[in-house]
């Protein structure tokens, strides 16, 4: 055997052995390698919702701000699974995006995880939060799971940073991992669902999904390839999102019209299944910590005022977190991760306490579906 061929085979065998060892180490011990990355896919394509959590998966995230472990139960939710059959516990369904999903910290320290502690009685929380969801996808989740799981309270966490933006396909960021369904406005202002086309996955898609099972490949993708190609770096993205702080014009006005109808539909759907709808307004990090607000934007409360008006038209109770979080920040509390711009543990604790104080009506409402 030629020396060059022998050396190539030896190198290949060594690379394979090292890869297997690293794969087993990542699966067994989490993010043991240096750098910033995640160790697997948290989401997968869904024909109705665009994407969803991968059921029964465990993914580690290692970033500049935190190292965390996200565990998805067999139902596809973060946190404990909730049985379909009703019990005597108060049942709360939380809708939202990454502020509800909260992969930045253990699920028991998130808003959804802390609600039982703050409410002070037996509570079952169904955390439907998925990163990147808009109000449109949250409607589809509620209409699918609400009649089956029959919550007493539906909590809609509305993130002013990007939910209005995500509700309008003309504004929505084009670089989505998976396409999503959306709603359009009909001639009379009614909502019309534009579903995803029913396409079979291509051979390349099937290969990508198969490779997605490797933790080591995800470390390479998210820790090496994405930073080199600029996939995770878009300095103008936050600026575009913060146009929501201005009085709307042009496409933003249409986005707010869509949002108005979407929030009203969530309220109506919740009430139709016997649940109390609760709108929780999640402020942008720069509205709470003004140092995080890029020029030329000032941390005004334009979206909060518009959302309160939407809630008034739909009869929803509102929890506007901005005054409480600003007060905590004024006392020296840091409530958001500086780079990630999501709530840290203090932010989740403050939000959970405010939400829990705002649902006493649900504790008094009789539920005819209870055993």
103, 341 contact by CB (below 8 A) = no
**H-assigned helices in 30-134:** 98-101, 111-119
DSSP strands (E only) in the chain: 37-38, 43-46, 50-53, 58-62, 67-71, 90-95, 123-127, 153-159, 182-185, 191-194, 276-282, 317-320
170, 78 contact by CB (below 8 A) = no
pLDDT score recorded for residue 337: 95
304, 281 contact by CB (below 8 A) = yes
Single pTM value for the model: 0.89
Count Cβ atoms below 10 Å from residue 207 Cβ, excluding itself: 11
pLDDT score recorded for residue 255: 96
**Domain 34-364: assigned CATH number:** 3.40.50.1110
What residues form DSSP beta bridges with 58?
A: 71
Domain boundaries, the chain: 1-30, 34-364
Radius of gyration of the chain from Cα atoms?
Answer: 22
pLDDT score recorded for residue 301: 93
Query: pLDDT tens track of the chain, all 371 residues?
Result: 567 666 667 667 776 777 778 778 877 888 988 888 999 999 999 999 999 999 999 999 999 999 999 999 999 999 999 999 999 999 999 999 999 999 999 999 999 999 999 998 899 999 999 999 999 999 999 999 999 999 999 999 999 999 999 999 999 876 677 899 999 998 888 999 999 988 777 777 777 777 677 888 888 888 888 887 765 556 577 788 889 999 999 999 999 999 999 999 999 999 999 999 999 999 999 999 998 888 888 889 999 999 999 999 888 999 999 999 999 999 999 999 998 999 999 999 999 999 999 987 555 555 444 33
User: Whole-angstrom Cα distance, residue 303 to residue 161?
Assistant: 9
């Amino acid at each position: 055997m030629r020396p060059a061929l022998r050396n190539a085979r030896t190198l290949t065998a060594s690379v394979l052995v090292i890869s297997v060892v690293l794969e087993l180490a990542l699966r067994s011990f989490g993010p043991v390698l240096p750098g910033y990355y995640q160790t697997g896919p948290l989401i997968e394509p869904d024909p109705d919702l665009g994407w969803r959590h991968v059921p029964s998966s465990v993914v580690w995230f290692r970033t500049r701000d935190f190292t965390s472990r996200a565990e998805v139960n067999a139902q596809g939710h973060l946190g404990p699974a909730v049985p379909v059959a009703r019990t005597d516990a108060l049942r709360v369904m939380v809708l939202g995006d990454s502020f509800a999903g909260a992969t930045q910290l253990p699920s028991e320290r998130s808003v959804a995880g802390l609600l039982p502690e703050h409410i002070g009685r037996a509570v079952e929380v169904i955390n439907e939060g998925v990163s990147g969801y808009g109000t449109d996808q949250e409607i589809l989740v509620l209409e699918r799971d609400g009649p089956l799981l029959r919550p007493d309270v539906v909590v809609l966490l509305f993130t002013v940073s990007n939910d209005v933006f995500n509700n309008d396909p003309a504004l929505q960021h084009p670089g989505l991992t998976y396409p999503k369904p959306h709603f359009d406005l009909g001639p009379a202002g009614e909502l019309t669902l534009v579903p995803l086309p029913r396409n079979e996955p291509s051979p390349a898609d099937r290969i990508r999904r198969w490779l997605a099972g490797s933790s080591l490949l995800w470390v390479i993708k998210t820790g090496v390839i994405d930073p080199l190609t600029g996939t995770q770096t878009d300095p103008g993205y936050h600026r575009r999102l913060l146009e929501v702080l201005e009085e709307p014009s042009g496409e933003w006005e249409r986005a707010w019209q869509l949002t108005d109808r979407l929030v009203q539909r969530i309220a109506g759907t919740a009430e139709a299944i016997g649940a109390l709808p609760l709108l929780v307004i999640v402020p942008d990090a720069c509205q709470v910590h003004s140092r995080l607000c890029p020029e030329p934007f000032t941390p005004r409360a334009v979206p909060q005022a518009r959302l309160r008006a939407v809630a008034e038209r739909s009869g929803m109770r509102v929890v506007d977190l901005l005054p409480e979080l600003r007060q905590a920040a004024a006392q020296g509390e840091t409530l958001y991760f500086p780079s990630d711009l999501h709530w840290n543990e203090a932010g989740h604790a403050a939000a959970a306490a405010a939400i829990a104080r705002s649902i006493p009506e649900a504790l008094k409402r009789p539920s005819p579906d209870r055993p």
